[in-house]
Amino acid sequence: MMERRVRVAVPAPFHFPLDYLVPDIEVRPGQRLLVPLGRRRVVGIAMEAPRNVATDGLNCRPVEDCLDREPLVPDDLLALCRWAAAYYHHPIGEVLAAALPASLRAVRRPGAGRPRRRSGDAEDDAMSPGSVGTSKDAPVATADQAQVLAGIEAVGTGFAVHLIEGVTGSGKTEIYLRAIDRIVERGGQALVLTPEIGLTPQLLERFRRRFGTRAQAFHSGLTERERRLAWLAARQGRCRVLIGTRSAVFVPLPELAMVVVDEEHDISFKQQDGFRYSARDTAIFRGRLARAPVLLGSATPCLESLHNAAAGRYHLWQIQARAQDRRMPAIGLIDMRGRRVRDGLSAPLLDALQQHTAAGGQALMFLNRRGFAPALLCHDCGWVLPCPGCDARMTVHRLSACMICHHCGNQAPVALRCGQCGGTGLTPVGQGTERLEQALAAEFPDLPVLRIDSDRVSRAGELDRLLDEIHSGRPAIVVGTQMLAKGHDFSRLSLVGVIDADAALFSADFRAVERMGQLLTQVAGRAGRGERPGEVLIQTHQPQHPALVRWLREGYRGLAESLLDERRAAGLPPSAHLALVRADSLRAASAEAFLREVATTLEGQQVEVMGPIPAPMERRAGRYRYQLLLRCPHRPRLQAALARAAPLWPQIEGARRLRWSLDVDPQDLF
Ligand code: ADP
Ligand code: ZN
Ligand code: ZN
């Protein structure tokens, strides 16, 4: 006896597609199938064409229905998901679930009947007949831009990775626009990935002006319906340029002919939970599948990309000067040692604020710590209020009159008595954005002080209002966290002050100094983009720290070169490859024991296994966190070891009673 079976990726933690019987219906790869799973019915994706096999007595359940006339997921996207599942060792069904908007993989409630629409029936067309946009008022390309564009064109229309390393304001966005314009003219589609679209509405506006409604956004700020419509518009070719955050890398684009990753160094391209993929690396593989060029752009490329460029795997294009003859800002350090400071502000910084705003400019004071103060200290005995669930301090939030743990979200009323000596001399210590805002408002009563951090802009529309105020050009002081470090183009901003540059210099994270260099360069890059020359002042207690000195003298590139040497010497990425297995549980011993078992599955495979050791923050939200670090100079060898070992881990005794995860190419070791 023969029967027809099909492999289906179902939304469940299985590493392989499951086999289902195919009744008398046509099934093609990429179609959505309604299938039983345990006691549920789920929407799965057919991964292959059905095949005839000899009946083997295994109880294989039948497909209940096929939901699509035409395959919803095209072949190249199936291939991309297969690659991602294999590379990140993540269940294929969960990868596909991440690739499809929730409403396209929903099983309608019983009674609602089965989905009536079939995707071939095009659920359009909610868009107003759109405008096509214009390149009429595009600026004449600068010589630098023209050179890069000609270089990219000369390499050809096939797969190649181009790293565009251009200082802030050098006109990289204009390069993407022009390169994509050519692609669209020739009938191709383009994918543009950007770190946080909601924070940089300007980028989307520029694409809209050039491409009209042929350019569409895809990000988490959209409603589910908007996401589905954008997804289908891309799938059906009505959208020619898709601009989106991380998950846009999985949107189908049948005519894909160019992939752009803007601010390619940004860590938000790495998903930090669940399916821990890097959208940048996935985008590169996608370009390979589509035989299309990939443009990575940044003023501060990550060390991995610089390493690949140096090895000749990427084409490197450098732009050292800003467009429109804008000069790079002058950068100075303010040595804070022994200086009197008020609320974290030194006299030279206050003087500069005075000068720049009196001359009609705007100033950005950068502090990457929200809240009022990062700790509440007992002046009598030195006790600091801890979070009950974490190895961390509670942050004082004065505006909402409470204490918040920034690691687990735990909230409590502001403590009135010391938990150790019972004294009442509790003082907030250190600087947060709320405190800085208050201090600046007192110091400059005639100027608006605009605080932009995630506490302030959680309300819809608030960020737009604040950005409008900045773009109005009136003198103002902006207090901002890293939300403001990237992408923004404020033409009246002439002064940038960095309140505290030191935290990263002592971090346990081996990437901390790289990140510091990126952040400082990006923040500094906000200054002097308009007609006013920019000035950047950095407050530090470590003016002689080699990393800071190097950055100041030779810029990010100089710092990056020295970091690459250090990483080579230490055997760290990009000179070696890492994977991190994390486990946490209410009992420290069970997390550690689980990881010890994981370590035994990796024996004899020429992969260095370090640990298990406690995570740098050992306890978070009441759970004990352990980790096992895997290192190998040879990526395929690490991949092969993981492919052999990872499927064994769910069977380890106790695995079900704790939380664990595998992170390939981890971005932080916390
Ligand atoms: P980046 O993406 O490298 O930060 P942008 O593309 O945003 O740079 O350009 C920085 C500024 O210079 C923007 O205000 C942009 O409008 C302007 N600009 C870019 N290219 C040109 C050009 N060819 N001619 C005139 N202005 C330009
Ligand atoms: Zn005390
Ligand atoms: Zn906490």
Burial of 586 (0-12, 13-18, 19+ CB in 10 A): exposed
Please say whether the beta carbons of 51 and 74 come within 8 A.
no
Taking the C-alpha atoms of residue 584 and residue 92, their distance in angstroms, rounded to an integer, is 24
Q: What is the pLDDT of residue 138?
A: 85
Bridge partner residues of 156 (DSSP): none
Q: What is the pLDDT of residue 112?
A: 39
Closest-CA residue, ligand 1 atom 15, reads: 171
Q: What is the pLDDT of residue 199?
A: 64
Which residues lie closer than 8 Å to 40 by C-beta, 6 or more apart? Answer: none
Question: CB-side exposure of 181: number of CA atoms within 13 Å?
Answer: 20
Q: Is the distance from the beta carbon of residue 388 to the nearest atom of ligand 1 less than 6 Å? A: no
Preceding omega of 125 cis (within 30 degrees of 0): yes
Closest-CA residue, ligand 1 atom 11, reads: 169
Closest-CA residue, ligand 1 atom 27, reads: 323
Q: What is the pLDDT of residue 198?
A: 65
| Best of 324, 521, 556 for a ligand 1 pocket test (most atoms within 8 Å of beta carbon) | 324
Nearest to 342 by CA among 257, 262, 439, 271: 439
How far is ligand 2, taken at its centre, from the CA of residue 259, in Å? 57
Q: Is the distance from the beta carbon of residue 173 to the nearest atom of ligand 1 less than 6 Å? A: yes
Record the pTM: 0.92
Q: Is the distance from the beta carbon of residue 166 to the nearest atom of ligand 1 less than 6 Å? A: yes
What are the pLDDT digits (tens) for 454-505?
888 877 688 888 989 999 999 999 999 888 777 778 889 999 999 988 877 8
Q: Is the distance from the beta carbon of residue 174 to the nearest atom of ligand 1 less than 6 Å? A: yes
User: Closest ligand 1 atom, CA of 319?
Assistant: 3
Beginning with the edge strand found earlier in the chain, give each strand of the sheet holding 411-413 in spatial order. Answer: 395-397, 402-404, 411-413
| Best of 149, 173, 202 for a ligand 1 pocket test (most atoms within 8 Å of beta carbon) | 173
How far is ligand 3, taken at its centre, from the CA of residue 388, in Å? 7
Question: CB-side exposure of 490: number of CA atoms within 13 Å?
Answer: 32
Alpha-helical regions (H) of 291-341: 303-310
Taking the C-alpha atoms of residue 74 and residue 66, their distance in angstroms, rounded to an integer, is 16
Walk me through the domains of the chain, giving residue ranges and CATH numbers: 2-105 (3.40.1440.60), 143-324 (3.40.50.300), 327-373+430-566 (3.40.50.300), 577-664 (3.30.70.600)
What are the pLDDT digits (tens) for 285-339?
999 999 999 999 999 999 999 999 999 999 999 998 888 777 788 899 999 999 9
Whole-number Cα distances in Å, 326 to 126, 143, 627: 42, 14, 47
Hey, what amino acid is at 274?
A: G
Q: Is the distance from the beta carbon of residue 145 to the nearest atom of ligand 1 less than 6 Å? A: yes
Taking the C-alpha atoms of residue 436 and residue 439, their distance in angstroms, rounded to an integer, is 5
How far is ligand 3, taken at its centre, from the CA of residue 619, in Å? 9
What are the pLDDT digits (tens) for 210-238?
999 899 999 888 899 999 999 999 999 99
The tokens 């906000």 sit on which residue?
Answer: 526
Taking the C-alpha atoms of residue 255 and residue 234, their distance in angstroms, rounded to an integer, is 9
Low-confidence ranges of the chain (pLDDT < 50): 109-127
Taking the C-alpha atoms of residue 607 and residue 482, their distance in angstroms, rounded to an integer, is 36
Mean of the per-residue pLDDT values of the chain: 91
Q: Is the distance from the beta carbon of residue 168 to the nearest atom of ligand 1 less than 6 Å? A: yes
Closest-CA residue, ligand 1 atom 23, reads: 141
How far is ligand 2, taken at its centre, from the CA of residue 425, in Å? 8
Q: Is the distance from the beta carbon of residue 540 to the nearest atom of ligand 1 less than 6 Å? A: no
Q: Is the distance from the beta carbon of residue 489 to the nearest atom of ligand 1 less than 6 Å? A: yes
Burial of 187 (0-12, 13-18, 19+ CB in 10 A): exposed
Please say whether the beta carbons of 240 and 184 come within 8 A.
yes
How far is ligand 1, taken at its centre, from the CA of residue 614, in Å? 47
Nearest ligand, measured from the Cα of 385 = 2
How far is ligand 2, taken at its centre, from the CA of residue 382, in Å? 6
Q: What is the pLDDT of residue 323?
A: 81
User: Closest ligand 1 atom, CA of 206?
Assistant: 16
Please say whether the beta carbons of 110 and 233 come within 8 A.
no
Hey, what amino acid is at 621?
A: A
Q: How many residues does the chain have?
A: 670
Q: Is the distance from the beta carbon of residue 522 to the nearest atom of ligand 1 less than 6 Å? A: no
**Exposure b/e, 9-47, CB count within 10 A at least 16 = b:** bbbeeebebbebbbeeeebbbbbbbbbebeeeebbbbbb
How far is ligand 1, taken at its centre, from the CA of residue 139, in Å? 9
Structure tokens at 565: 């040497």
Q: Is the distance from the beta carbon of residue 622 to the nearest atom of ligand 1 less than 6 Å? A: no
Beginning with the edge strand found earlier in the chain, give each strand of the sheet holding 315-319 in spatial order. Answer: 215-218, 241-244, 189-193, 256-262, 293-298, 160-166, 315-319
Calculate the CA 437 to chain-centre distance: 28
Nearest to 365 by CA among 221, 209, 517, 478: 478
Nearest ligand, measured from the Cα of 137 = 1
- Torsion on CA atoms 476, 481, 485, 486, rounded to nearest 10: -110
Bridge partner residues of 40 (DSSP): 37
Closest-CA residue, ligand 1 atom 9, reads: 171
- Torsion on CA atoms 616, 618, 622, 628, rounded to nearest 10: 90
Please say whether the beta carbons of 317 and 280 come within 8 A.
no
Nearest ligand, measured from the Cα of 488 = 1
Nearest to 263 by CA among 202, 178, 196, 195: 195
Structure tokens at 503: 């935290």
Q: Is the distance from the beta carbon of residue 134 to the nearest atom of ligand 1 less than 6 Å? A: no
How far is ligand 1, taken at its centre, from the CA of residue 323, in Å? 6
Structure tokens at 529: 């983009």
Please say whether the beta carbons of 190 and 183 come within 8 A.
yes
